[in-house]
């Protein structure tokens, strides 16, 4: 399969609903794509500006300071001590890595790539790009023998499902049983809301309670887009199996996949500053506190959504019908069909809107007119 053979970009089909929502007298409330709207922290922006004399090529492997910051962050924030700087690697955003990982691992025609049933579409796109077969399965017992790569995502996009230590341990054991690389997309890990995740950290696949001291075949993927409002910086990284990291580094050197030097400097500062992350988390907590009960009062059922940046909701009818009803109220969401064939009645609501727009959505959802 070639790049030219990929399907049309799915979000193009939402354009008519966006246009209808924009006609609302109070303007559109866009809860569709999870693109941060809050300011980049000043401490991070200052670091970027201070590093703009970037006349030399940056290192694909990242500066030593950045790699040490990633290692320290895993120990401090994710409960993963003991990583070496040769077990971490910066990437040009996490979407790039998700799309290219099958290629970088040498997968090809007929190989199997497993991903969650409710899933970010790029997992399947990356598989198709190299002629591999994407398989949607949540239960590790259903992961096929011989699969080469398994993606898990916790907290999940779009469904906000969080995998606990026992579930992660089961995933690791099954991936090793079938000989697959297990890649854990953990980009929303700072955003746990309900159940145990309201008071304790969302666990990483690299947590010693999950893998012990053996990180063979395991990768953790993270992005600063959400926790630090750095989506425009394309600032992400991976960690895990030393041999896999070395293999990926070699491929990325050949392809020129290097993070700009000013971004590396900004990441180093961002990873060392927990205060701005805590403040951003509280912003999202408050927006969720307003939006979730408004959706439930309007007749939506919220499924999973224990963590992450979204509310995964259904009112029990076709998602496009729901999209139309929302657009009439000036609200734009994301249809569940974008995230898997098994979710024709779900829609995804993002928390990435201003406090004022979230409050306005709540008012519109509580309107007297029937759905």
Cβ(366)–Cβ(294) below 8 Å: yes
Interhelix angle 261-272/42-50, rounded to 10 degrees, is 150
Return the CATH number of the domain spanning residue range 42-273: 3.40.640.10
Cβ(106)–Cβ(247) below 8 Å: no
pLDDT in tens for each of the 371 residues of the chain?
556 556 667 778 899 999 999 999 999 999 999 999 999 999 999 999 999 999 999 999 999 999 999 999 999 999 999 999 999 999 999 999 999 999 999 999 999 999 999 999 999 999 999 999 999 999 999 999 999 999 999 999 999 999 999 999 999 999 999 999 999 999 999 999 999 999 999 999 999 999 999 999 999 999 999 999 999 999 999 999 999 999 999 999 999 999 999 999 999 999 999 999 999 999 999 999 999 999 999 999 999 999 999 999 999 999 999 999 999 999 999 999 999 999 999 999 999 999 999 999 999 998 745 55
- Pick 3-39+276-365's CATH classification: 3.90.700.10, 3.90.1150.10, 3.40.630.30, 3.30.230.10: 3.90.1150.10
Q: What is the pLDDT of residue 5?
A: 58
Distance (Å) of CA 260 to CA 84, 116, 228, 235, 270: 22, 32, 18, 10, 15
Question: Phi/psi zone of residue 340: left (φ > 0), alpha (ψ -120 to 50 degrees), beta?
Answer: left
Query: Residue 294 has which token pair?
Result: 């408004």
CATH 3.90.1150.10 residue ranges of the chain are: 3-39+276-365
Q: What is the pLDDT of residue 368?
A: 46
Query: Residue 25 has which token pair?
Result: 């007298």
- Other CB atoms within 10 A of residue 363 CB: 12
Q: What is the pLDDT of residue 60?
A: 96
Q: Which helix (H) or strand (E) holds 131?
A: none
Strands of the 149-153 sheet, one edge to the other: 88-92, 235-240, 218-223, 181-185, 149-153, 112-115, 133-136
> Does the global pTM surpass 0.85?
yes
Long-range CB pairs of 1-6, under 8 A, 24+ apart, other chains included: 1/128, 1/129, 1/130, 1/131, 3/129, 6/125, 6/128, 6/129
Give the residue from 204, 238, 224 showing the smallest Cα distance to 87.
238
CATH 3.40.640.10 residue ranges of the chain are: 42-273
Q: What is the pLDDT of residue 7?
A: 63
């Amino acid at each position: 399969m070639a790049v030219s053979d990929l399907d049309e970009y799915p979000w193009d089909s939402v354009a008519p609903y966006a246009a209808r929502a924009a006609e609302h007298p109070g303007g559109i409330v866009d809860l569709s794509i999870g693109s941060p709207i809050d300011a980049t922290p000043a401490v991070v922006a200052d670091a970027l500006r201070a590093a703009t004399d970037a006349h030399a090529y940056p290192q694909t492997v990242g500066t030593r300071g950045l790699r040490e910051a990633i290692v320290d962050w895993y120990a401090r924030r994710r409960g993963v001590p003991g990583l070496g700087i040769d077990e971490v690697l910066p990437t040009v955003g996490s979407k790039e890595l998700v799309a290219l990982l099958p290629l970088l691992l040498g997968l090809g025609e007929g190989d199997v790539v497993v991903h969650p049933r409710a899933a970010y579409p790029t997992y399947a796109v990356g598989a198709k790009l190299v002629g591999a077969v994407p398989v949607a399965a949540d239960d590790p017992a259903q992961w096929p023998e011989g699969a080469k790569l398994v993606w898990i995502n916790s907290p999940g996009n779009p469904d906000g499902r969080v995998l606990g230590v026992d579930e992660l341990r089961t995933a690791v054991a099954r991936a090793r049983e079938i000989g697959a690389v297990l890649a854990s997309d953990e980009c929303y890990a700072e955003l746990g809301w309900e159940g145990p995740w309201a008071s304790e950290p969302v666990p990483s696949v690299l947590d010693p309670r999950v893998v012990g001291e053996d990180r063979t075949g395991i990768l953790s993927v993270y992005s600063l887009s959400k926790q630090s409002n750095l989506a425009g910086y394309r600032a992400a990284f991976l960690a895990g199996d030393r041999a896999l990291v070395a293999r990926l580094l070699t491929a990325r050197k050949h392809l020129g996949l290097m993070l700009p030097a000013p971004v590396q400097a900004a990441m180093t500062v961002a990873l060392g500053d927990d205060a701005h992350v805590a403040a951003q988390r509280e912003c999202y907590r408050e927006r969720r506190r307003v939006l979730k009960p408004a959706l439930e009062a309007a007749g939506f059922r919220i499924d999973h959504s224990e963590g992450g940046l979204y509310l995964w909701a259904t009112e029990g009818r076709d998602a496009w019908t729901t999209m139309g009803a929302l657009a009439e109220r000036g609200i734009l969401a994301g249809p569940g069909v974008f995230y898997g064939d098994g979710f024709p009645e779900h829609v995804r609501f993002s928390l990435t809107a201003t406090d004022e727009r979230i409050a306005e959505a709540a008012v519109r959802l509580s309107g007297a007119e029937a759905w």
